[in-house]
Amino acid sequence: MSEVDTTKQAPLREMDMDAPAPPREVDMGTSAPWRKAIGRLIGVCIIAGAVVAIALAGWQWQVHPQTDDATVRANFIGVAPEVSGHIVELPVQDNQFVHEGDVLLVIDPRPYELALERAKAALLLTRKEVDALTKGVGVAEVSITRATAQAGATTADIARLEAQRVAAQAALTRAEGELKLAQDQLARVEPLLARQFVTEDQVEQARTKRLVTAMSVEQARTALAGATAAVEAARAQRHAAVAAVEQAKTERGRAQDNVGQSGDINARVRSAEVAVDKAALDLSYCRVYAPFSGHVVNLNISKGAFARAGTDVFTLVDTATWYVVANFRETHLRHIRQGATADIYLQSQPNQHFHGTVVGLGWAVVPDSGTSAMGLPKIDRQLDWVRLAQRFPVRIRLDNPDDSFRIGASAVVTIRDEATQAARAADR
């Protein structure tokens, strides 16, 4: 039995050595599905995480708008003198910090000092002229008073002389009546003398009476003529007196016009006083002071240069208040409200955090890049996916600025205001 077993086993060993080893048995029903399931789970988790991250980023981007299209701004003015002249003092330098009330430049004051002295001399001369003319007004007033009194006196004379004329007229009438009686008496008695009805003495008496009454008539007529002439003369004097009053009033008006009198204020003197005030004001304008504290920039002029009134010599930047103008897409404006807080980073200081407060949202921009509008900011649209959203400027006041801020510096702004977001949620 052993030989037979040995003979049978040998070929098997040779065959095992020459033939390839049979494959190891693997449990295909258990390991392969687990691997596929784990791979799918990992892929799903990665995709879900990416979707969640994108959603969170989109939500964060929507509720907390951010933009890098922002620049630092500050208020500034052009420093221009009110008067023209050569600069005799220029105590500031470019980029120098100055305090409110510091002297920025001085214009040569000598021409304006002379102008002030000339105005003062003109004022003194005007006052003297006005005093002289005022005396002329007083003389005219005296003339008016005198002429008025004379006119009143002539009026009284006319009344008296008119009474005398009336009396003379009455005397003439009476004398003429007596003359007629005397003539009638003589005409009666003369024919009776021939008949001896009357005596010659009676006739002579009648003739004498007629002669006397005739002389009385002539005297009465002469007296009446004199009284009438006196009345006419008095009337002429009154007319002359009235004319003298009018002439005196005219002279007074002319004198008042020359004086320039208007109530209690003399126009000519006041005009000269205003000229003095103007000259003094121009002299004060020769020294230009800083209206606020800030930095001097764009100073490209030196002492001795001629400065013209109203022409900027340099610029003064107000460093007391800084703000950032951030241009946000119009889709973000609904998440931004006045008073919202903002995080600000400067590109020059990316690691320093600044805080700000929204003080205003822009209400108008130029609609198209090819158009222009007076006083409206012009902001070019940027390509953002498919649609082009307009950008509007949002003004943000900086709460903690430092000396590193400069106008025009680039900034990144993120709006973070939980109160605003809560208010929007309540509105919904």
Q: Is 296 exposed, middle or buried (CB count within 10 Å of its CB: 0-12, 13-18, 19+)?
A: buried
Residue 111 in tokens: 């021409």
| Length of the chain measured in residues | 428
What residues does each domain of the chain span?
A: 65-80+313-428, 85-108+289-311, 113-269
Domains 65-80+313-428 and 85-108+289-311 share a fold: no
- Average model confidence (pLDDT) across the chain: 79
Class of 113-269 in CATH = mainly alpha
pLDDT in tens, the chain (428 residues): 333 344 444 443 444 444 445 545 445 455 667 767 777 677 767 776 666 555 555 555 455 689 999 999 999 999 999 999 999 999 999 999 999 999 999 999 999 999 999 999 999 998 888 887 777 777 777 777 887 887 777 777 777 777 777 887 887 788 778 778 877 777 777 777 677 676 777 767 777 877 888 787 788 788 878 878 877 887 887 788 788 778 877 877 777 676 665 444 577 888 999 999 999 999 999 999 999 999 999 999 999 999 999 999 999 999 999 999 999 988 888 888 999 999 999 998 888 999 999 999 988 887 765 455 566 676 666 655 555 778 999 999 999 888 889 999 999 999 986 655 555 555 55
Is residue 116 within a helix (H) or strand (E), and if so which, with residue range? helix 110-194
Q: How many CA atoms lie within 13 A of 235 on its CB side?
A: 7
**Record: fold of 85-108+289-311:** OB fold (Dihydrolipoamide Acetyltransferase, E2P) (2.40.50)
Residue 240 in tokens: 């002359």
Q: 27 in helix, strand or coil? A: coil
**In angstroms, rounded to a whole number, what is the distance separating the alpha carbons of residues 73 and 330?**
21
Q: Which amino acid is at 173?
A: T
Q: Using alpha carbons, select from 409, 417, 416 the residue that is nearest to residue 70.
A: 409
* Angle formed at CA 404 by CA 398 and CA 406, multiple of 5 degrees: 75
Q: Does domain 65-80+313-428 have CATH number 2.40.30.170?
A: yes
**In angstroms, rounded to a whole number, what is the distance separating the alpha carbons of residues 377 and 361?**
12
